[in-house]
A and B are shown apart, each in its own frame.
Chain A
Amino acid sequence: MSATMPEVDGENMPVEVLALLNSEDGAAFEQALDTMVRQREQHLFRALGLLARDLHGAVRRLGGELAFEGAPSSMADARQHLIEVLDMSAKAAHRSLDFAERMRPEADALSRNAAEVLDFNDSATNSTAVLARQAQTFAEHCCDGLDDMVMAQSWQDLSGQRIKKVVGFIESVETSLLELVRLTGALAGGEAPIAAAKVSSQDEADRLLSEFGF
């Protein structure tokens, strides 16, 4: 410290700090300050690491609760489940579309046949004509219903888009968490593992976390 500087009044300071502040040995002061900051950083990084570990655990548990059968053991599993939901809903939608495509020509044929019968006899008292008229109405309602059913299947696309967004979100949370663990581990003095952001399996994630003692 410069001799021209006034002595620090350190009523509330630890004796070591006060001694350092008033010391003339600049290098010793810098070193002591450095050690102090480092100690504080270590606490912070350790706390961040534990936080990341807790968060990771919480997300894993959430994944477990979401599963209908058995608990998915990881976020990767949760992602996989969502992709399966997407595939299943697409298959279901295609089956409904198959059905609509199969039924529409049948309804059209019924309507045409009924019209032919009515061309021949459309008396209100003739039972065949009455039945033909009913068949025609039914065929019309059937076509309207098929249209509605096809339109309802387009919700599969809309729900699918949302599922895709959630899958992407889970992936980014997972990557960010692992990156956080990698960074905190590296800053806390551990070796930074290579390409941590690309870790995909739960085992790898757990191994990475445990490398840093979390």
Chain B
Amino acid sequence: MKILVVDDFSTMRRIVRNLLVELGFSNPLIQEADDGNNALTMLRANSFDMVVTDWNMPNMTGIDLLRAIRAEPKFKGLPVLMVTAENNREQIIAAAQAGVNGYIVKPFTAITLREKLEKIFERLAASGASS
């Protein structure tokens, strides 16, 4: 599974990558982008199966990236997991309305990440089966 990890802090990209590897995802298939703009360019150039993105980033924020992804028909089914320090109601609602698939508040453990990922894939499988 090809995953794009988007965060402006290299520390956080590395932590998310390590946690994903720990959960059994293939390290070489994980790629990184340091803001929404670069992420969008990479998404358009390659095929990814999932995006894990931060909210607060320069140039293009995570929520704007999410909206840009949902605006392009070819990314319709692309799961987006938001990993962020923003945990106020309005922002969570904004992310949900923009079509986020999962929302994790930092800092978090591998267990939390696994739970959220499992939920995302369960829901995707369910919606795939029903449609």
What is the distance, in angstroms, from A145's C-beta to the closest C-beta of chain B?
13
Please, how many residues of chain A have a CB less than 8 angstroms from a CB on the other chain? 17
Residue A58 is within 8 A (CB to CB) of chain B in the complex:
no
Residue B109 is within 8 A (CB to CB) of chain A in the complex:
yes
Interchain residue pairs A-B with the least CB separation, the first 7: A154-B107, A157-B12, A157-B9, A93-B11, A156-B11, A158-B85, A151-B107
> Is B15 a contact of A97 with CB atoms below 8 Å?
yes
Q: Which of B75-127 contact A (CB under 8 A)?
A: 85, 106-110
> Is A160 a contact of B107 with CB atoms below 8 Å?
no
Contact (A90, B9) CB under 8 Å given A155-B107, A161-B85: yes
Residue A150 is within 8 A (CB to CB) of chain B in the complex:
yes
What is the distance, in angstroms, from A149's C-beta to the closest C-beta of chain B?
11
Residue B14 is within 8 A (CB to CB) of chain A in the complex:
yes
Residue B10 is within 8 A (CB to CB) of chain A in the complex:
yes
What is the distance, in angstroms, from B88's C-beta to the closest C-beta of chain A?
14
Residue of A nearest to B110 (CB): A147
A interface list, Cβ under 8 A from B: 90, 93-94, 97, 101, 147, 150-158, 160-161
Contact (A97, B14) CB under 8 Å given A90-B9, A157-B9, A157-B106: yes
Q: How far is the CA of A153 from the CA of B15 in the complex (A)?
A: 8
What is the distance, in angstroms, from B101's C-beta to the closest C-beta of chain A?
21
Q: How far is the CA of A152 from the CA of B12 in the complex (A)?
A: 11
> Is A90 a contact of B11 with CB atoms below 8 Å?
yes
What is the distance, in angstroms, from B104's C-beta to the closest C-beta of chain A?
11
> Is B9 a contact of A101 with CB atoms below 8 Å?
no
Q: How far is the CA of A153 from the CA of B9 in the complex (A)?
A: 12
> Is B14 a contact of A151 with CB atoms below 8 Å?
no
Q: Can you identify 23 A-B contacts, CB atoms within 8 angstroms?
A: A90-B9, A90-B10, A93-B11, A94-B10, A94-B11, A94-B14, A97-B11, A97-B15, A147-B110, A150-B15, A150-B19, A151-B15, A151-B108, A153-B15, A154-B11, A154-B12, A154-B15, A154-B106, A156-B9, A156-B12, A158-B106, A160-B11, A161-B85
Residue B7 is within 8 A (CB to CB) of chain A in the complex:
yes
Residue B56 is within 8 A (CB to CB) of chain A in the complex:
yes
For the complex with contacts A154-B12, A157-B54, 8 further pairs of A-B residues with Cβ separation under 8 Å are: A151-B108, A152-B107, A154-B11, A157-B9, A157-B85, A157-B106, A160-B9, A161-B9
Residue B38 is within 8 A (CB to CB) of chain A in the complex:
no
Residue B31 is within 8 A (CB to CB) of chain A in the complex:
no
Which among A93, A154, A155 has the highest number of chain B CB atoms within 10 Å? Answer: A154
Residue of B nearest to A165 (CB): B56
